[in-house]
Amino acid sequence: MEVTEAFDDRTHAIIPIEGMTCATCAGRVEKALLAEPGVIRAEVNLASENATVEGVAGLLRPADLIVAVRRAGYDADLRTGDVERDRQILAAEEKRLKQETWRMLGAAVLSAPLLLPMVGVEVPAWLQLTLATPVQFILGARFYVGAWKALRARTGNMDLLVVLGTSTAYFYSLYMLFAGHAGEHLYFEAAAVVVTLILVGKWLEVRAKRATTSAIRALMALRPENARVIRDDAEIEVPIAAISPGDIVVVRPGEKLPVDGVVLEGHSEVDESLLTGESQSLSKQAGDLVVGGSVNGSGLLRIKTTLVGEQSTLSRIIALVENAQGKKAPVQRLVDRVAAAFVPIVIVVASAAFFGWWLIAGDLNSGIVAAVAVMVIACPCSLGLATPTALMVGTGAAAKAGILIRDPEALELAHKLDTVVLDKTGTVTEGKPAVTEMLTTGISESELLALTAAAQTGSEHPLAHAVMTKAEGLKLGRLEDFQSHPGMGLTACVAGRQIAIGNRRLLAEKGVRTEYLEAQVAALEERGRTVMWVAALEPQPLLLGAIAVADPIRASAKAAVQNLQRLGLETIMLTGDHERTAAAVAAELGIERVIASVLPGQKAEVVRRLQAEGRTVGMVGDGVNDAPALAAANVGIAMGGGSDVAMQTAGITLMRSDPLLVGDAITVSRATRNKIRQCLFWAFFYNVIGMPLAAFGLLNPMISGAAMALSSVSVVSNALLLRHWRPAAKEGV
């Protein structure tokens, strides 16, 4: 078991499960886990063969969860360590594929001679028995084991149906042989060929399911096993697990970066495409942050390690994708309820077919064949695979494009969005404003700038950064007092002088008259400038001037808005800026509706008001003040360059600050939703059409076995077509 996330008094864990064959197996494991003390929620994903468990920290005991899974008739193990976990996952996949290959080949070799009567070659009854027996009880032993576990748990699964069907054909043929009816048609070939076809289906399914985890395996492959570090003034090679924060790591040209850190020496181009979806390499030099898993270009880098192990960006991305792939989408819960009743329904239909042919038509042989065909063609496996497989491929495709889906519910809901609310600063703009103009009344520009910069010393606000950058080289007064007024500005005492810096609302509250500069400020705002008013508060309120700041619009913002509008979505810009500034930016982007002068605490209320109008709202933001609105929206989308709070709150995180990815997140959601519907159609189609045909004697067991094998394979293969989805952001739309 791997504990992936802990917060407050809850902890999340992912447990790999072995031995599941269909949706009813997944349901049984869920019930076993939910019965354990401390477990709040448990979801089992048949496609990924993982259980995602949420529980109370301190009460959730890994060993108890493993015992519970084994008591339910399945296997689970403990996995520790980042790199070791990855090795185990990859090794287990390879081992299972080899096992399925040998089972399938062995069954095919033994079953092939049993088909010779179809081309006019007689096969003696004793040879049929000799060939069919190892297929039935050795190569097909897995079905008997699974069926026995299901019966012990007082439930049914796909294994039980296979065992009932093939055993009926085998033992009826055995009875006929020893009763002296060897000259009549026997059904050894039906039993053996059905087992073989299902094993072929399982082999194809394992190969196809392995492809669904390609995104995870690609991310795992980014992490090198060893790294060169500087120890005692010497360069030595050590395992990744031996690196600690603060270590100096040397990365040569062409190598993968082993850790997250800060460049101390060197200059190079770094490829982060597999982490962020960004196709262009990024220039890195001393002072720049780098991410483990990136590929170094032509330069030599010395990096000071900041994050290692499970705290690294790469490990957190892998954990997020695994967690999303392990959870259930809302539609899956309906499918689970259907799957829970599936096996009993199949047995009832098979029994009705048997007794109908025997008692009504007087044909015992046809009754046995029909019952076997019904049980063999029924496939709860395809029902269980349809939704999670499509979600796994969809989240994997999104991750490759730099879109991290934290919650499959967000992926499923995103296709319903009809309104997208865009925060302005840091979302459609760069979030790196610069001072462009200054207006003064009675003091010089340098005095105004120095006073404003001193008041904002230590502030992390983007506007403060712009002022501090402009004021470099100026002598600043001592900041003696500071008070923030969210959504309006600040008041401060600089070298004994009380001042206010902010918007009109703040100055009006402090009794400062602004009409002297209103015409000039209005002209600046109409050009898209954000204006900070500066006033002295003592001995009486007095306007000192205004500083205009421009925040460049992101290069892809206009194309992103156009893309959203092509998708049929209304775009709304939400900002705390003045109406004129917001209107100028919106006009340049082609956004028709603007909600401006909104306080940070009011953003969530705006979202709820839009929802009250009957809209399904997606909120896109990057700052701490956007977090409540992201949480209130139907789908929250956080820009990757923003705050951790915003990214933790949102259901979808964009790994790079490119607004084009917003439309991509919605299109991948729509593509995934369509694929889920297609997969569910095929899963139900096979069963709804196949069982009646089998019951009326229109399908023999071998055709039923082939159809059953193909049902799961076709569902998984159809889901894999999602891998061909391509983001507009990558295509430069």
Give the C-alpha separation, 86 to 545, whole Å: 60
Other Cβ atoms closer than 10 A to 11 = 20
List C-alpha distances in Å: 675 to 401, 568, 711, 713, 731: 18, 20, 15, 15, 22
**What's the start-to-end Cα distance of the chain, in Å?**
43
pLDDT at 458 > cutoff 70: no
DSSP letter string, 555-584: TTHHHHHHHHHHTT-EEEEE-SS-HHHHHH
Q: Nearest Cα to 313, choosing from 284, 293, 283, 296?
A: 293
pLDDT at 7 > cutoff 70: no
Weakest mean pLDDT among 40-44, 109-113, 349-353, 704-708: 704-708
Q: Tell me the pLDDT band of 5, cut-offs 50, 70 and 90.
A: very low
Q: Which residues contact 555 (CB under 8 A, 6 or more apart)?
A: none
Which residues make beta-bridge pairs with 12? 5, 54
Model pLDDT for residues 537-592, shown as the tens digit of each residue: 888 899 999 999 888 888 888 999 999 999 999 999 988 777 888 888 888 899 88
Structure-token pair, residue 224? 């090198």
pLDDT at residue number 396: 81
Using DSSP's 3-state secondary structure scheme, residue 508 falls into: helix
Using DSSP's 3-state secondary structure scheme, residue 184 falls into: coil
pLDDT at 133 > cutoff 90: yes
Give the C-alpha separation, 190 to 476, whole Å: 91
Beta strand extents in 596-639 (DSSP E only): 617-621, 635-639
Which residues make beta-bridge pairs with 593? 572
The residues carrying an active-site annotation are 423
Q: Tell me the pLDDT band of 146, cut-offs 50, 70 and 90.
A: confident
Give the C-alpha separation, 701 to 689, whole Å: 15
Q: Nearest Cα to 519, choosing from 531, 505, 502, 501?
A: 531
Q: Nearest Cα to 530, choosing from 467, 589, 484?
A: 467
Model pLDDT for residues 319-358, shown as the tens digit of each residue: 767 666 666 666 666 666 666 677 788 888 888 888 988 8
Please, are residues 267 and 288 in contact by the beta-carbon 8 Å criterion? no
Helix (H) or strand (E) holding 6: strand 2-7
Q: Is the dihedral of CA 726, 730, 731, 733 positive or negative?
A: positive
pLDDT at residue number 1: 45
Cα atoms found within 13 Å of the Cα of residue 309, Cβ hemisphere only: 9
Other Cβ atoms closer than 10 A to 286 = 12
pLDDT at 105 > cutoff 70: yes
% pLDDT > 70, the chain: 84
Model pLDDT for residues 384-436, shown as the tens digit of each residue: 677 777 887 888 888 888 888 877 778 778 888 999 999 888 888 887 888 98
Using N-to-C axis directions, what is the helix angle for 380-400 and 188-212, rounded to 10°? 20
Residue type, 210: R
Using DSSP's 3-state secondary structure scheme, residue 76 falls into: strand
66-94 burial string, b = 16+ CB within 10 Å, else e?
A: bebbeebbbebeebeebbebbeebeeebe
Structure-token pair, residue 510? 């402090």
Residues in the chain: 733
Q: Which residues contact 161 (CB under 8 A, 6 or more apart)?
A: 343, 346, 347, 375, 376, 378, 380
pLDDT at residue number 393: 83
Mode of pairing for the β-strands spanning 570-574 and 593-595 = parallel
pLDDT at 449 > cutoff 70: yes
Model pLDDT for residues 269-300, shown as the tens digit of each residue: 888 766 665 666 778 888 888 888 888 888 88
pLDDT at 138 > cutoff 80: yes
Structure-token pair, residue 488? 């309006």
Residue with tokens 């302005």: 424
Weakest mean pLDDT among 144-158, 449-463, 598-612, 679-693: 144-158
Please, are residues 474 and 453 in contact by the beta-carbon 8 Å criterion? yes
pLDDT at 619 > cutoff 60: yes
Please, are residues 606 and 629 in contact by the beta-carbon 8 Å criterion? yes
Give the C-alpha separation, 326 to 652, whole Å: 16
Give the C-alpha separation, 622 to 642, whole Å: 4
